[in-house]
Amino acid sequence: MVGLSIVKPTCLEEALALLNDDTFVIAGGTDVAIQVHTKPNVTKLVDVNGILKKGIEETKDSVIIYALTTHTDVMESPIIAKWAPALKQACSQVAATQIRNMGTIGGNVSNASPAGDSIPALLVVDTKVTYVDAQGEKTIALKDFFTGPGKTVMNKRGLVTKFEFAKADNLKTAFTKVGKRNAMAISVVNCAVGLYLDGDKIEKANIVLGSIAPTTLHIKKAEEYLFGRKFAEVDLNAFWSLVFNSINPIDDIRSTAAYRKQVAANVARSTLITAYEGGK
What residue ranges bind ligand FAD (CB under 6 A)? 24-32, 34, 48, 52, 67, 94-95, 99, 102-104, 106-108, 110-111, 116-117, 159-160, 184, 186
Report the alpha-carbon distance of residue 144 to residue 226 in Å, rounded.
Answer: 22
Q: Beta 136-141 vs 128-133: how paired, if at all?
A: antiparallel
CA torsion through residues 126, 132, 133, 138, sign: positive
| Shortest spacing between CB 4 and ligand FAD, in angstroms | 13
| Shortest spacing between CB 76 and ligand FAD, in angstroms | 16
| Shortest spacing between CB 213 and ligand FAD, in angstroms | 16
Cβ nearer to ligand FAD, comparing 67 with 174? 67
| Shortest spacing between CB 229 and ligand FAD, in angstroms | 32
CA torsion through residues 30, 36, 37, 38, sign: positive
Cβ nearer to ligand FAD, comparing 182 with 237? 182
DSSP secondary structure string for all residues of 89-108: HHHHTSS-HHHHHH-BHHHH
Report the alpha-carbon distance of residue 20 to residue 46 in Å, rounded.
Answer: 10
Backbone angles phi, psi at 75, to 5 degrees: -70, -20
Cβ nearer to ligand FAD, comparing 48 with 142? 48
Cβ nearer to ligand FAD, comparing 46 with 234? 46
The closest residue (CB) to ligand FAD is 107
Cβ nearer to ligand FAD, comparing 63 with 94? 94
Cβ nearer to ligand FAD, comparing 67 with 208? 67
| Shortest spacing between CB 242 and ligand FAD, in angstroms | 26
Inter-residue long-range contacts of 80-84, CB under 8 Å, 24+ positions, other chains counted: 80/56, 82/280, 83/58, 83/125, 83/165, 83/167, 83/168, 83/171, 84/121, 84/122, 84/125, 84/165, 84/173
Report the alpha-carbon distance of residue 141 to residue 225 in Å, rounded.
Answer: 23
Cβ nearer to ligand FAD, comparing 39 with 220? 39
| Shortest spacing between CB 82 and ligand FAD, in angstroms | 22
Angle of the 236-246 helix axis to the 257-278 helix axis, nearest 10: 140
